[in-house]
């Protein structure tokens, strides 16, 4: 998985006044969990743009100015409800021999037979939560929709991989091809034509068949 480096400064004070002052200075207060003790640090808000405002998944290298460096993933983020500015970020430290849970984006590949026939692809899950060793975390999960016909569903069991395991039930639907309104209308129109043809044929047969006692 690709990694982003965040250069930060360790925070000695964690009070509300200090936190407010950091935000006013364009800094984001952060906490790193998972180690022997939490590590409080801050970094410029712009440093998080490639990590936060993207659909891709990344690990993070947190480089503190005192020389310490930590591998981590973003665990939680708080955004301002109006401006969407980053208020606070929690990170979780990674260890090579310890599995970690993380949400991974789903990439759709292939061309569905159902879509070619007028169906509509519906994406039920754009991200899937997996658990794996840090070295086995994928950048994305590929979902091949080529075999899907109209009415078909792609279940998470079709995406199983030995490098990681999914933290979802086996009946989780990743995507499906549903009948579109146009295809429904066309389908119903065909049925009506068949019914009309059948009715006309029945009427013709009744006209051609003589009544009982007449020859």
Overall pTM > 0.85? no
According to the model, what pLDDT value does residue 65 have? 87
CA atoms of 87 and 81, how far apart (whole Å): 10
Map out the domains of the chain as residue ranges. Answer: 3-94, 101-181
Closest CA to 10 of 31, 37, 41, 36: 41
pLDDT in tens, 13-65: 777 888 889 999 999 999 999 999 999 999 999 999 999 988 899 999 999 98
CB 23 within 8 A of CB 29: yes
Q: For domain 3-94, give the CATH number.
A: 2.40.240.10
User: Distance between CA 145 and CA 159 in Å, rounded?
Assistant: 11
- What's the pLDDT score for residue 154? 97
pLDDT beneath 50: ranges in the chain: 185-215
Q: What is the CATH number of domain 101-181?
A: 2.170.120.20
Provide the pLDDT for residue 184. Answer: 52
Going by their DSSP bridges, the two strands 165-166 and 127-132 should be labelled as antiparallel
Q: Which helix (H) or strand (E) holds 61?
A: strand 59-64
Question: d(Cα 215, Cα 212) in Å, to the nearest integer?
Answer: 8
């Amino acid at each position: 998985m690709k990694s982003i480096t965040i250069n930060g400064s360790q925070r000695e004070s964690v009070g509300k006044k200090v936190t407010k002052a950091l935000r006013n200075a364009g800094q984001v207060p952060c906490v790193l969990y998972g180690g022997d003790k939490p590590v409080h640090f801050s970094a410029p808000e712009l440093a998080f743009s490639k990590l936060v405002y993207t659909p891709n998944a990344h690990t993070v290298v947190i480089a503190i100015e005192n020389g310490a460096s930590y591998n981590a993933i973003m665990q939680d983020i708080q955004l301002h409800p109006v401006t969407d500015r980053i208020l606070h970020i929690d990170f979780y430290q990674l260890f090579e021999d310890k599995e970690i849970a993380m949400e991974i984006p789903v990439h759709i590949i292939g061309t569905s037979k159902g879509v070619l026939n007028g169906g509509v692809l519906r994406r039920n899950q754009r991200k899937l939560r997996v658990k794996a060793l840090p070295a086995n975390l994928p950048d994305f999960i590929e979902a091949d929709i080529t075999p899907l016909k109209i009415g078909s569903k792609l279940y998470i069991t079709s995406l199983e991989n030995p490098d990681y395991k999914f933290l979802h039930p086996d009946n989780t639907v990743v995507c499906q091809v549903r009948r579109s309104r146009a295809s429904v209308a066309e389908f119903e129109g065909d049925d009506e034509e068949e019914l009309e043809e059948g009715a006309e044929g029945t009427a013709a047969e009744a006209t051609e068949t003589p009544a009982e006692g007449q020859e």
